[in-house]
Structures are given as structure tokens and as C-alpha cells.
Structure 1
Amino acid sequence: MFNIERWQEIFETIRKNKLRTFLTSLSVASGIFILVILLGFSSGIQNGVKSQFESDATNRIQVSTRVTTKGFKGLNPGRRLQMTNKDYENLNQKYEDQIEYKTSYITHGGVDR
């Protein structure tokens, strides 16, 4: 298994080709470094995405209003939809037997109110 002549040949080749040995070592070290960086980056992305979604419930419905893009029954596009407490009460009455927990949560311009 251990052949001294083979090892002598390897070390002699390394001594003769110093530039090639250096460049090969540099390439291998760079590859290992990049692999470690990419693994760390992917773990960071995975943890970040997981932390963003860990507070979301699987049985939760969120309703938000925006601006309409199409006209409907004579109404113009570009109207701002608004929900009121009356809308919330109507939904509670209509689906009372299907909703276990409910709450209203209002934000304006990304600021919680």
C-alpha cells in the first residue's frame, strides 16, 4: 500500500511545478470557501423565510381592500374599496356557526391602528 517511490515522485512533481501547485491549491481553497458561503447563505434564506411565515395560521383569512381595476355595473374603474364595521358584523352573522375565533384588525397605509 505505502510505496515510498510513489510519494517521492509526487513530492518531486510538486517541487518542479510550484506555480501549478499553487494555482491548484488556490482553486481548491476557493471552491471550498465558495461552497461554505453558499451553504451559509441558503441556510440564512431558509431561516428568514421560515421566520416570516411562522406566525401565520393555516386557518386564517385576511381581507384587504385596494383600488378596482375594472368597471362593474356602470361603476368606474379606479374606485377605492372600503370596508366598514357593518361589513364585519354582516360577515359575523352570516358565518357565525363556521367561525370559532374572530377579530378585526385595521391598518392604514401600513401602520397598525
Structure 2
Amino acid sequence: MTTKFTPDHEYIRVEGSTGIVGITHYAQEQLGDIVFVELPALGKVLKKGDEAAVVESVKAASEIYAPVSGTVTEVNEALNGEPGLVNSAAEAGGWMFKITIADAGEIDTLLDADGYAELTL
């Protein structure tokens, strides 16, 4: 399992040909208390960089972009009733959607943990 990051503060945990996508702990800290999450539709085909979801916090609304191209295969329904999971467990139970990765080469264009850490200093 590999985790990669975007400069826009999304993460993708890669498990075979599936990616689990959400926002980073740093991103949820910047947003504050998450009050609503708009998840993508199942079966939605996304290109890398497409708007995939939206999170709304007490401070602002923020778009979540697809870190890679692919098809949405699952969404985290728990967030509909408990959007605060993004705050309490951003990189665990607060994931947003799973995507079947269309082009594994796109993973290599993302940041590793060290590269991402440099962005958030």
C-alpha cells in the first residue's frame, strides 16, 4: 500500500488498482469543523484534476480534486451522517471515495510523504 499526495492537499492510498481518496490531516486543520461533504456519484468517470467532491466547513467550501483518472467505485456513506469524521480521522475513517485507477503512471506524478511535508511547512 502506497500513499501519495497532491499539492491541493488530497491523498490517495493505492491498493492494487484501487485508490482511496480524501483530504489530508493538514487540509482539515486549515478548513476547521467540516459540516457537510458532497460525494461523487458512483460510476462517475474522472480525469486527473477534475472536481470530484466538495467539503464545507464553518469557514469555507472547498473542492476536492481527483488525484488520478479513473471511475468512482465506492463513496464513504458514513460522511453523509457524520461529516466530522473528516476532522477526527481525515486519513483513516474520513476517506471520501474509492476510484479504479485508469493510468497507474499518474501515481508517479504525485508527491510522496516527504515532498508533501515540505509543502506544509
Bigger proportion of residues as strand: 2
Task: Give TM-score, length-normalised by structure 1.
Answer: 0.23
Q: Which has the higher contact order (CA 8 A, sep 6+)?
A: 2
Bigger proportion of residues as helix: 1
Which protein has the larger Cα radius of gyration, Structure 1 or Structure 2? 1
Task: Give TM-score, length-normalised by structure 2.
Answer: 0.22
